[in-house]
Amino acid sequence: MKLGLGTWGALAALSAAVMAAPAQAQEYPYRDITTVVVWGAGGGTDSINRMIMAEMEKELPVNITVTNTTGGVAGSNGMTYVLNQPADGYTLAGISESNVTAAVQGGWDKKFDVWHPFIVGGSPDLISVTADSEYESLEALIEAAKNEPGSITAAASGAGSIHHLNLLALENGTGAKFKFVPYGGSGPAQEAAVAGEVDVIVTSLAEQQGLIKGGQLKPLAMLVPEKGDLDGTEIPSAFDSYSDLSKYLPLKQAIGFAVLADAPDDAKKVLEEAFAKAMQSEKVKEWAASNYYDLSGLAGAEASAQFAKLESNFAWTLKELDSAAVDPAELGIPKP
């Protein structure tokens, strides 16, 4: 029996509909996910994202690729890139607490509520010098930086990062003045310190610990009220010698990732479930302990509330330190 053109057309339409139905019914995720870390390779945000994505990948039917897009102000280049991708849950941003200052520093005009965040954890900051530095104590370093303002160079990741804020707070709490040299992340900043391009480095204990153990950096003080313990070696707290630091410090890390807030609810739910399972894995717990990280595990609304507090605290701290390009009030960021 011959079929007419009309019959062939109907069959073709039916076939197309049958083929399209499974695609339309596919549940998230049905293709690979990309996480764009907005800080440099080798830093804390990069390391944590590569670790947690590897664990989350075990809970998902797809692969997760981690890449780096750095630059801009407070990670604004990477965040802008992700913001310009479809809000479908397939492009995540590897972020940290330092990104909350992008708006107040003029990097972009968005508040942090454009994200639906996940917090893995964080590590306290410390100040260290190059291995061959003449400075054996924080007091000696501060005295030199006060006597010759700007003569001592200091790296602290990018402008507006938590490490930069810690450096600014240290200056204001001690009266010292360093020459700040920004880098595209903690990794490049630490490499610069090891190479002798800068005299001082402010990053986290988790990020510096390998270099300290290897004798490439010399720790002077923790920038939190508590002393540090690195395999039995005590690192004094800067608060012991400079009580005025309590006006500005401590500032806490919150490292993790985010999906766009406009992403579908089912995508957020799937990511939250995979994240929760990954955070309970022994590998994550062992990794955090061996790398000097405190785990958080906050996601969604709880993580958003935490980042809102950080945004308020950091933005107004920058304004108080006279380092804000944009008044946080103009951005609708409330005072802490």
* CA atoms of 54 and 48, how far apart (whole Å): 10
- State phi, psi for 318 to the nearest 5 degrees: -60, -40
pTM: 0.76
Residue 268 dihedral angles phi and psi, to the nearest 5°: -60, -40
> Cα(83)–Cα(279) distance, rounded to whole angstroms?
26
Going from the C-alpha of 323 to that of each of 46, 106, 126, 154, the distances in angstroms are: 26, 11, 21, 17
Amino acid at 177: K
Determine contact, residues 126/39, Cβ cutoff 8 Å. Answer: no
**Alpha carbons 26 and 14: distance in angstroms, whole number:** 19
What CA–CA distance (Å, rounded) separates 69 from 36? 6
pLDDT tens digit at each of 336 positions of the chain: 444 545 444 444 445 444 444 444 589 999 999 999 999 898 889 999 999 999 999 999 999 999 999 989 989 999 999 999 999 999 999 999 989 999 999 999 999 999 999 999 999 999 999 999 999 999 999 999 999 999 999 999 877 788 998 999 999 999 999 999 988 788 899 999 999 999 999 999 998 999 999 999 999 999 999 999 998 899 999 999 999 999 888 888 899 999 999 999 999 999 999 999 999 999 999 999 988 999 999 999 999 999 998 899 889 878 887 888 999 999 999 998
State whether the Cα torsion 168-170-173-179 is positive or negative.
Answer: negative
Quick check: helix, strand or coil at residue 41?
A: coil
* Residue 257: Cβ within 10 Å count: 30
Q: At what angle do helices 44-57 and 265-279 cross, to 10 degrees?
A: 100
